[in-house]
Structure 1
Amino acid sequence: MKLKRSYFTSSSLDDLEIFEEQLESAGISTPQIHVLSLDDQIVSEHPHLHEVQSFMKHDVVHKSILGAVVGSGLASTLLLMAFSFELVNMSVDWVPIVFLSVVILGFSTWLGGFTGIQTSNYKLARFEKILAEGQHVFFVDLEPDQEKILEKILKLHPNLKRAGTEGGSPYWLVSLQRKFGMIRHS
């Protein structure tokens, strides 16, 4: 099951901190809540806010996966060509061809990750203008039964502006983070 992600913008980190505390008090766990800002120093002065990790601000994971898909295609093509042209029956054994396929897959994955570290996360890129204006983006991943909680608490924060919704983190990932305490405030 995938959670539903709701985005909000605000210029006040104090208001966002209160909002996060109220959500957590109502049963929404810390791994479901994130704050994105260009000024990490100011966010770190609000110890209760769960900031987006710098690694996730970039598109490393997404581009690495794309690189791995391309690399898999290239490696498969190489193996099919070797099989089709009967290169292995000649003087060449399978070992160098399989090794070259693994190198191609690894290089493609690395190249995708290298490209991704230089670009903004594709899901967060739409907020670049808002962030440049000094605003902060707050997003929360909700289970279906938690949406009413959000709506109730949202009424207490008229300065928060809705910025859209989309599919959020997978449920298993949030559960894993909850279970093992992988999210900690700095």
Structure 2
Amino acid sequence: MRRHFYLSDDLDDLERLESDLEARGIARPQIHILSNNDAGLESHHLHQVESLLRKDVIHSGKIGFLVGLVAAAIPLVVAYIVGLSEGYLWIPVIFLSIILLGFCTWEGGLIGIQRPNHQYLKFERAINSGRHLLIVDVDPGQEKRLMKIIADHPNVEDMGLGESVPGWLVGAQKQWHKFVRWAP
């Protein structure tokens, strides 16, 4: 999947654009809008970016996990070199490694919750000035369709591409929305 970014000043136009996208086969979980005007997004029934994804929790958690892997390997290597691998003395070292891995991952997430998402930093000034960021994740087969729809909305400014969420995650969100509509 590829992630496209667009900026707009008009929530009414974004509402029409979102319904055009949905009418032409781009599902709601593929469309997100990031704005400081949460009340406006709610009143226009626009699909906004989830609050957790506005922060850099996932990205920083991944970095924390990688740091944790290195930190967890250190006691394992030291214990092996020293010779603690014989007998029951190995068990506390394994637990220490697990604790270090978990702590570093958790700390990475805590650091990330204090920062805006790294993908949205370049749009921060525009969003703070009252503009709205449209984020569309599309498959390669949907690219031409997206370009045709965007061409019908001249007030939307193309801001380039970014790293997309995995396709399986969008598929899972689609299935979840189907379930929510089906469930009582």
Q: TM-score scaled to structure 2, two decimals?
A: 0.92
Q: Where do residues 10-89 of structure 1 align in structure 2 (5 Å cutoff)?
A: 10-47=8-45, 49-89=46-86
Q: Which residue of 2 aligns with 1:6?
A: 4
> How far 1:177 moved relative to its partner?
1.1
Q: Which residue of 2 aligns with 1:173?
A: 169
- Report the Cα distance in structure 1 between the residues aligned to 2:150 and 2:179, rounded to whole angstroms: 24
The alignment partner of 1:121 has SS state of coil
> How far 1:41 moved relative to its partner?
1.9
> How far 1:22 moved relative to its partner?
0.3
- Report the Cα distance in structure 2 between the residues aligned to 1:72 and 1:50, rounded to whole angstroms: 36
- Change in Cα spacing, 1:182 to 1:117, as seen in structure 2 (3 Å) is farther
What 5-or-longer segments of structure 1 have no aligned partner? none
- Change in Cα spacing, 1:96 to 1:63, as seen in structure 2 (3 Å) is same
> What is the letter of the counterpart of residue 169 of structure 2?
L
The alignment partner of 1:5 has SS state of strand
> How far 1:168 moved relative to its partner?
1.4
The alignment partner of 2:165 has SS state of strand
Which structure shows the bigger proportion of residues in helix conformation?
2
> How far 1:77 moved relative to its partner?
1.5
Q: Which residue of 2 aligns with 1:115?
A: 111
The alignment partner of 1:169 has SS state of coil
> How far 1:145 moved relative to its partner?
1.4
- Report the Cα distance in structure 2 between the residues aligned to 1:166 and 1:125, rounded to whole angstroms: 12
* Equivalent residues of 2:4, 2:162 under 8 A apart: yes
What 5-or-longer segments of structure 2 have no aligned partner? none
> What is the letter of the counterpart of residue 24 of structure 1?
E
| 4+ residue runs over 6 A deviation | none
* Equivalent residues of 1:33, 1:141 under 8 A apart: yes
> How far 1:181 moved relative to its partner?
1.5
The alignment partner of 2:164 has SS state of strand
> How far 1:89 moved relative to its partner?
4.4
Q: TM-score scaled to structure 1, two decimals?
A: 0.91
1:157 correspondence with 2:153: yes
* Equivalent residues of 1:10, 1:135 under 8 A apart: yes
Give the superposed CA RMSD.
1.7
